[in-house]
Amino acid sequence: MHFDYSPKVQDLQARLQAFMDAHIYPNEARFMDEVAANRARGNPWRPTELVERLKPLARAAGLWNLFLPNSPRAPEGLSNLEYAPLCEIMGRVSFAPEVFNCSAPDTGNMETLERYASEALKDRWLAPLLRGEIRSAFLMTEPEVASSDATNIQCRIEREGDELRINGRKWWSSGAGDPRCAVFILMGKTDPQAPRHAQQSMVVVPADAPGVHIERALTVFGYDDAPHGHMELRLENVRVPASHILLGAGRGFEIAQGRLGPGRIHHCMRSIGAAERALELMCQRLTRRVAFGKPLAAQSVWHERIAESRCLIEQARLLTLKAAYMMDTVGNKVAKAEIAMIKVVAPNVACQVLDWAIQAHGGAGVSQDFVLAQSYANQRTLRLADGPDEVHRMAIAKLELARHQVQATTELEPPVTRGC
Amino acid sequence: MHFDYSPKVQDLQARLQAFMDAHIYPNEARFMDEVAANRARGNPWRPTELVERLKPLARAAGLWNLFLPNSPRAPEGLSNLEYAPLCEIMGRVSFAPEVFNCSAPDTGNMETLERYASEALKDRWLAPLLRGEIRSAFLMTEPEVASSDATNIQCRIEREGDELRINGRKWWSSGAGDPRCAVFILMGKTDPQAPRHAQQSMVVVPADAPGVHIERALTVFGYDDAPHGHMELRLENVRVPASHILLGAGRGFEIAQGRLGPGRIHHCMRSIGAAERALELMCQRLTRRVAFGKPLAAQSVWHERIAESRCLIEQARLLTLKAAYMMDTVGNKVAKAEIAMIKVVAPNVACQVLDWAIQAHGGAGVSQDFVLAQSYANQRTLRLADGPDEVHRMAIAKLELARHQVQATTELEPPVTRGC
Amino acid sequence: MHFDYSPKVQDLQARLQAFMDAHIYPNEARFMDEVAANRARGNPWRPTELVERLKPLARAAGLWNLFLPNSPRAPEGLSNLEYAPLCEIMGRVSFAPEVFNCSAPDTGNMETLERYASEALKDRWLAPLLRGEIRSAFLMTEPEVASSDATNIQCRIEREGDELRINGRKWWSSGAGDPRCAVFILMGKTDPQAPRHAQQSMVVVPADAPGVHIERALTVFGYDDAPHGHMELRLENVRVPASHILLGAGRGFEIAQGRLGPGRIHHCMRSIGAAERALELMCQRLTRRVAFGKPLAAQSVWHERIAESRCLIEQARLLTLKAAYMMDTVGNKVAKAEIAMIKVVAPNVACQVLDWAIQAHGGAGVSQDFVLAQSYANQRTLRLADGPDEVHRMAIAKLELARHQVQATTELEPPVTRGC
Amino acid sequence: MHFDYSPKVQDLQARLQAFMDAHIYPNEARFMDEVAANRARGNPWRPTELVERLKPLARAAGLWNLFLPNSPRAPEGLSNLEYAPLCEIMGRVSFAPEVFNCSAPDTGNMETLERYASEALKDRWLAPLLRGEIRSAFLMTEPEVASSDATNIQCRIEREGDELRINGRKWWSSGAGDPRCAVFILMGKTDPQAPRHAQQSMVVVPADAPGVHIERALTVFGYDDAPHGHMELRLENVRVPASHILLGAGRGFEIAQGRLGPGRIHHCMRSIGAAERALELMCQRLTRRVAFGKPLAAQSVWHERIAESRCLIEQARLLTLKAAYMMDTVGNKVAKAEIAMIKVVAPNVACQVLDWAIQAHGGAGVSQDFVLAQSYANQRTLRLADGPDEVHRMAIAKLELARHQVQATTELEPPVTRGC
């Protein structure tokens, strides 16, 4: 057991921090302004010039594709444990991860392609994604069913000769409205008669395939989350080559579990960054504002919340690091309890700290003057995305109960005392 | 002690409910569409044709100005206790209160004018407000200071002959962007040398006075809350007649306490309506969605939350009704502990129930497809508006401690036992 | 709607308060000492001379049998609504209710006998109970099964000629160890083949019937709760006349619902009294202790907790009063949601306030020097007794869902907006 | 960063676990019975024969004095990080730590003597403590003042020639009633005129010194915690040699900070063991009990609580391990924030998990049939012992604020956007 970051990680932290200080924090207002200007001109989904300008700088600084472990195509990729503290730093600013080509849903999609796609598909889609030339979307959730139970997914994928014909409706397909978004990974049902967990498959769908219709953008609380955005799509007789199926027909669940692990832990790392920033803003605000004769920072109700925030964040970070360590050492499958745990813990911690930080800021906290309200909306959504809290808690509980049910047959707990 | 609504109230409830069913619920989407169209055309603050069309219907139905007790100008006005269950019903839909001329901040402003304004000011401003012809704003909070401590307020009101010259910056002036908004009630400092609670005054300011500048609109979790909106204003050498001071110079605090009581309880009544609606939507959604082989409504984690929601709402409603009863019978001043209590309880209850309802809806819950996310943003803001939770809890605690400090001198609690 | 206590109730409150001040509070230490002395002499279950001495005083003061509504045998009995604020006052001291012949489980048992027993049984058992000459126990819960689901109850009642033969094991039979305890009301299974809710019956069992064995006393946290106590009993071929069955064979559930309503609400009223006392002690302690340069009462973390305590107590009291009002006006059956709600709310509120009060007292809070720890143990147990929180929440949720499922068929909630 | 236990620790875990299975768990009822028999014979403080019989076995098994790092007198001592997972296992059973000579308050006292006592004092007191021949108590807290602020401590230590004269009253002196308890470490005031943190000193006091009076035993909830117990003592003109002062007059605070770190973290490790055991019992119980047609373990409300318990425990353990690592690597002083954090987190987590476990057990949960209620009482007390939650949260908050106040001067957070 050893709790220090490695020298390699400490070096990367320092360089990433310097990049954030030089290029990210000073441009937060400019980013918002550029998006607002694009929105006012009628197209909020247009990529910002700011991010496009910063990407080459990040790449030149060696801060690029840090997320992808064990890929010959991304030698700079780190292990999950190494990546965690860097991803956390990026998570402090909403547009930062893209600058380093480390943004959702691309990282999860790239990992999926790296693991499960043919070399041909990798050449076609993974390569430009790794270069940051195109973006991607993940088409899983559907509006008509409780997608938290993935067996509910209805989108139909039918084999017709050498092609797959796809019909269905998807939503919360984040990034699908970006003009650079060139490819989707889609989950759908290839065999409704197969056993419950072998009905689904994942396929690669070019975004410009005929029959792909972007119907509308969803808002998150009041935010459109432009330029990224969350789209509802209709797929009507969309055709792709049969070779676009990943891993094999009926193996969608298997991929989902492999894909969602890294995707989820990246979200958690960023959640911790968001929580740290909220605590920082909270402390700064409380120090500067005076009410009833003393700084808010001197009032013990805020001591309680600051301390509780620090305790929550430290613990969430350690659990995330442990989950990353297990993913690296024993694999995503064995680490499934830990992944489920951080998936519940991290956004809940972030929401709690953000809520206190908002309260500390008064009306300013819910407004556009601070990142807090938008960050809250984002973190609140993560309690639903990639499976709601309840589904992950059920999974954790079943693993826990399984452990004790085995014991239960061999060891009956004795009452401690028998007499009165 | 008697817990039934009076026949008069039950009749009004039935009529209001019928009006909601006929004219409000069926038009919710249309209202949103009209605002969106106005926003797209560049002016989200434009009043909707829908509400303007419904107002005469509500007035004709005898559902108008129900909020104002004991005013010769509004004979239809009810007591606080009578009004509470009606205000709750209106609170279920964001634009409903205005249809009945019962919307914030106008109701609080009308009550203030009724109580503290001269007959001339009443003729000029209260009369058209009661007719629903104009609207109003309340200019209290300032961006530069912790306005939770009202003695911090910096806006300067200087006497110059028969005029008052006003300079300052205000924000969260809700409704000030509405073209119908004709009048402000403003809190500012008339005498910086006076004792701490006698420095402030309230004055009536015509919205079109020279020197009034609307600087920008604030967002609430991404929402612009159009067509109402929340404005930041700059007042630069704004001049009004000295007769526009309410009650007298230095009596701003006194008015604030009188004004905020009714304004706060109206918010609480609406919060309860919002919570009821959230519980309703949650139950409906859980009944319809199936996951892991059974309706979500059959899962005991949701039983816990539904039951807890019902317990929280029932209790918050009873406390609100008791506070209303006390305002009617012993006055706003004596009821200050109860008003502070519901100010804390009601929006917190609504936030909790809304959060569960959002969780029950999955991604749809944070989107524009249901009222939940916007309602959450609204209720969350009410934990800050008119004083943050912490300030009200401090007030409640001081009243409680005062009670026990008196006892403390006369009655020492004895240890229950002395031996081992 | 009317929130003042009636003059009759206010008069009783004043008289009861005076009795508490004169005879109960000053004797708290003496009561503990007398019990401790009895325990040291080997019989903690011996009734105290103190309580026996105070009972005639209470009866003479007209403060006797206040709990029983509508009984010709107890003309002094009040309605539930009238009784609530008096029961709350008694609930502040653990031994006080017995002084006024208003203690559990006797009040629930007396109500059961009054409603469901023959005149002969009433003469034999209800009359001396109402005179405070004997006490009683309720034999429901069993150690081997989850008694929260009453259909699990296994105790066997078999008809043999004119007699009933009873075999089973019961626990948490509070008061059964008291030498004055002369009679039990027992729930058992008369017909295992009957429909699920018609298998159980309630019978009256004399405590001295052959075959009744008191096996041991249970502790609550470390308390034996002497002299009352909680017993585990074994019933082995216990025989009672068949006429001792209440209401009729197979109607045990029906009685349980009738009995438990009043029993539960009495517990809730006392919980509120316990919570009020905890808040009082907390305020007094915080006022007197100084740390880090100022009284604890001046620290805002305690303001939060005091205020939250006050809000919680006020709301729990109002909900309890409303439930009592409904029991009086529409009956226990229609009031079942409200009874379930207060059964969850009141002890949880008391536990929360007590926990804060303990924290405010430091080590003294968990010790014998204050009533707080024992009161916590008592209130914590009430979250399990008469049905755990989870069962009552399930009942509340099912009533709520039923309401919305009907609506669901007739009114589909429309998405608020359709476009993006 | 590395999250596996070292081979050495894994080996010790296995051996300790085997010892627990062979000698501790099977004797839990016997321990309770022996204490009950002693109590019935009039002396609950008598050491049990059971523990005395097991101690040589533990020593022979190499499971002895594991807690003391870097002492030539205890070569078997482990680092804090190594010791943590072993202490956790011991913490699952109340009497287990003593069997391994690893129980409070002796471990903290031995560490204090090792660090701050003269060799003569070490020979006299540390040596027999390390051999498990005598026991010790820590006399810090006082009944008359808020001891959470240690400057409040009033016990007077006056120099008279070569002697110190001690007068004062102490309570919560755990273990002082044990006939084997031979020595106290006492905190008292040597110089009331010195600066606030230099007034206090620590001295070694033989338990049999004339003037030491044990006044009574305190209960924790209803438990006497025999045979250990918590004593209130009066010291009346107690005299010890001046050489018994540790480190030097006026350096009591310095020692307190050094002593309390290890003592606190040991408590936290045991708290995690107690929480683990509660979760285990909860899962077992839920698996075996059926209500409303299915095992409780299949109900989703319990899934939520089991999962939340697992998340809380994992995080608390990681934070405790990190704190131990820091104590080992950078020292107790630098690790003070982490020590304060786990002091708050661990017992709160244990209380929460225990509360759910009690609820899962129904009435049995609060009774003597399971360890849950007593364990709850113990953990609840740890939220007060060695400083209440509030004081530790204040310390954490001040460290956090200090960090941001420095930043505050150099970096003003800019509003994210400036326009509307």
The per-residue pLDDT for range A367-412, each reduced to its tens digit, is: 999 999 999 999 999 999 989 999 999 999 999 999 877 554 444 4
Give the nearest chain C residue to A415 (CA atoms).
Answer: C143
Count: domains in chain C? 3
């007590």: which residue's tokens? C354
Q: Of D51 and C411, which is predicted with more confidence?
A: D51
Confidence of residue A420 (pLDDT cuts 50, 70, 90): very low
Whether C267 and C403 share a structural domain: yes
Contact B303 D303 (CB under 8 A): no
What residue has token string 């519901």? B342
Instruction: Write out residues 194-223 of A within 8 Å (CB-CB) of C.
Output: 215-218
**Is the per-residue pLDDT at C418 higher than 80?**
no
pLDDT of residue A414: 40
List chains touching C (3+ CB pairs under 8 A): A, B, D
A258 and A404 together in one domain: yes
CA distance C64 to chain A (A): 34
Local confidence band at C408 (pLDDT 50, 70, 90 cut-offs): very low
Question: How far apart are alpha carbons D394 and A298 in whole angstroms?
Answer: 10
| Ranges of chain B with pLDDT below 70 | 259, 406-420
Placement of tokens 């709750």 in the chain = B88
Query: Quick check: A420 and C218 CB within 8 A?
Result: yes
Nearest CB to B304; choose among D301, D419, D420: D301
C387 interaction partners in chain B (CB closer than 8 Å): none
Q: Is C299 near chain A, with CB under 8 Å?
A: yes
DSSP B95-161: THHHHTT--TTHHHHHHHHHHHS-HHHIIIIIHHHHTTS-EEEEE---TTS-TTSGGG---EEEEET
Most B CBs within 10 Å, among C28, C95, C315, to test the B interface:
C315
Chosen domain end from C228, C250, C272: C250
Q: Confidence class of residue D404 from pLDDT cuts 50, 70 and 90?
A: confident
Residue C32 and residue B417: Cβ atoms within 8 Å? yes
Measure B243 CA to nearest chain A CA, in Å.
32
Q: Are the beta carbons of A420 and C303 separated by less than 8 Å?
A: no
- State which of D218, D250, D282 marks the end of a domain: D250
- Rounded to the nearest angstrom, the minimum Cα separation between A69 and chain C is 38
Query: What's the average model confidence in pLDDT over A142-153?
Result: 89
Q: A307 vs D416: CB contact, 8 Å cut-off?
A: no
pLDDT value at position C409? 44
How many contacts, defined by CB atoms under 8 Å, are there between B and C? 208
Mean pLDDT of the C331-351 span = 96
Q: Specify the pairing of strand D163-174 against strand D230-241.
A: antiparallel
Question: What is the 3 state secondary structure string of D315-366?
Answer: HHHHHHHHHHHHHHHCCCCCCHHHHHHHHHHHHHHHHHHHHHHHHHHCHHHH
**Largest distance between two CA atoms of chain C:** 81
Residue of C nearest to D226 (CA): C222
Whether residue D415 and residue A370 make contact (CB cut-off 8 A), yes or no, is: yes
Nearest residue in chain D measured CA to CA from B222 = D420
Q: How far apart are the first and last CA of chain B?
A: 46
Q: Do B2 and C5 touch (CB under 8 A)?
A: no
Asked which of B221, B249, B277 is the last residue of a domain, the reply is B249
**Closest among D226, C43, D176, C35 to B417, alpha carbons compared:** C35
Contact between D407 and A314 using a beta-carbon 8 Å cutoff: no
Q: Do C403 and B283 touch (CB under 8 A)?
A: yes
For chain A, give the mean pLDDT. 94
Size of interface A-D (CB pairs under 8 A): 210
Interface of D with A in 12-51 (CB under 8 A): 28-29, 32-33, 36
Written as six digits, the tokens of A241 are 């080559």
Do D392 and D371 belong together in one domain? yes
Q: Which residues contact D57 (CB under 8 A, 6 or more apart)?
A: D19, D23
D416 touches chain B (CB under 8 A): no
Q: What is the pLDDT of residue B406?
A: 54
Which residues does B8 contact at the CB level (< 8 Å), separation at least 6? B82
- Kindly state whether residue C244 falls inside one of the protein's structural domains: yes
For residue A420, list chain C residues with Cβ-Cβ distance below 8 A: 215-218, 232
| Residue C51 counted as domain residue | yes
pLDDT digits (tens, 9 = 90+) for C283-298: 999 999 999 888 999 9
| Residue D418 located in a structural domain | no
> Are residues C243 and C345 located together in one domain of the fold?
no
Query: D416 in a domain, yes or no?
Result: no
Answer whether B7 touches C (CB < 8 Å): no
Strand A181-189 to strand C181-189: parallel, antiparallel, or no bridges (unpaired)? unpaired
Please report which confidence band the pLDDT of residue C15 belongs to, taking 50, 70 and 90 as the band edges: very high
Judged by CB atoms closer than 8 Å, whether chains meet at D341 and A306 is answered as no
Give residues with Cβ within 8 angstroms of D220, minimum separation 6: C222, C366, C367, C373, D230, D377, D378, D381
Mapped to the 3 state alphabet, what secondary structure does C167-222 carry? EEEEEEEECCCCCCEEEEEEEEECCCCCCHHHCEEEEEEECCCCCEEEEEEECECC
Chain C residues touching B395 at Cβ < 8 A: 307
Are C182 and C241 within one domain?
yes
Identify the weakest region by mean pLDDT among B341-350, C110-119, C257-266. Answer: C257-266
B291·A148 Cβ contact <8 A = yes
Closest partner CB to B284 (pick from C1, C325, C404): C404
- Specify the length of chain C in residues: 420
Average pLDDT taken over every residue of chain C: 94
Judgement on whether residues A85 and A175 belong to the same structural domain of the protein:
no
Inter-chain touch B217–D420, beta carbons under 8 Å: yes
Q: Is residue C324 part of a domain?
A: yes
Mean pLDDT, residues A12-18 taken together:
98
Q: Which amino acid is at B400?
A: E
Do residue A243 and residue A257 come from a single domain? no
Q: What is the CATH number of the domain that holds B46?
A: 1.10.540.10
What does the pLDDT look like over D147-173, one tens digit per residue? 888 889 999 999 999 999 999 999 999
Check residue B411 and give its pLDDT: 42
Would the pLDDT of A110 be above 80? yes
In chain C, residues with a C-beta closer than 8 Å to the C-beta of B344 are 307, 311
pLDDT of residue B407: 52
Of A146, A222, A390, the CB nearest to B290: A146
Q: Quick check: B388 and A222 CB within 8 A?
A: no
H-assigned helices in A289-335: 300-329
Residues C53 and C92 in one domain: yes
B113 domain residue, yes or no: no
pLDDT for residue D48: 98
User: What is the DSSP track for D84-112?
Assistant: HHHHHHHTTSTTHHHHTT--TTHHHHHHH
CB contact under 8 A, D281 and A413: yes
Judging contacts by C-beta atoms under 8 Å, the chain A residues touching residue D83 are none
Q: What is the CATH number of the domain that holds B384?
A: 1.20.140.10
Q: What share of chain D is helix, strand, coil (3-state, %, to 5)?
A: 55, 15, 30
Least confident range from A38-42, B67-71, C145-149, D67-71: namely C145-149
Q: Which residues contact C45 (CB under 8 A, 6 or more apart)?
A: C38, C177, C178, C179, C217, C226, C227, C229
Chain A contact for C1 (CB, 8 A cutoff)? no
Q: Which two tokens stand for residue A282?
A: 């909270």
> In chain D, pLDDT over 90 holds for what percent of residues?
88
- Asked if C368 contacts B248 with a C-beta cutoff of 8 angstroms, the reply is no
What percent of chain D is predicted at pLDDT more than 70? 96
Subunit partners of chain D (3 or more CB pairs within 8 A): A, B, C
If you measure CA to CA, which chain B residue comes closest to A222? B222
Do D384 and C377 count as a contact with CB atoms less than 8 A apart?
A: no
D413 lies in a domain? no
Domain annotation covers residue C267: yes
Q: How far apart are CA B282 and CA C404, in angstroms?
A: 9
C-alpha distances in angstroms, C116 versus A417, C134, C242, C254?
39, 19, 15, 10
* Position D420 pLDDT exceeds 70: no
Choose among C221, C296, C389: nearest Cβ to D222: C221
Domain with C348, as residue range(s), is 253-408
Q: Is C359 on the interface with D (CB under 8 A)?
A: yes
D380 and C358 in contact by Cβ < 8 A? yes
B265 and B340 assigned to the same domain: yes
Same domain? A221 vs A78: no
Tell me, what's the pLDDT at A410?
Answer: 43
Q: Does A371 touch chain D (CB under 8 A)?
A: yes
Contact B416 C29 (CB under 8 A): yes
Query: What DSSP string runs through D155-218?
Result: -EEEEETTEEEEEEEEEEEETTTSTTEEEEEEEEES-TTS-GGGSEEEEEEETT-TTEEEEEEE
CA distance B391 to chain A (A): 10
Q: What percent of chain C has pLDDT over 70?
A: 96
pLDDT of residue C407: 52
Helix (H) or strand (E) holding C163: strand C163-174
Contact A310, D323 (CB under 8 A): no
Q: Please, are residues A416 and D32 in contact by the beta-carbon 8 Å criterion? A: yes
How many angstroms away from the CA of B113 is the closest CA of chain A? 26
Encode pLDDT of A235-257 as tens digits: 999 999 999 999 999 999 989 87
Q: Is C322 within 8 Å of B3 when comparing Cβ atoms? A: yes
Checking if the pLDDT of A221 tops 60, the result is yes
Residue in C215, C221, C386 to test binding to D, most D beta-carbons within 10 Å: C221
Do C312 and C354 have their domain in common?
A: yes
User: Which tens digits make up the pLDDT trace of C61-109?
Assistant: 999 999 999 899 999 899 999 999 999 999 999 999 999 999 999 999 9
Q: Are residues D339 and D379 in the same domain?
A: yes
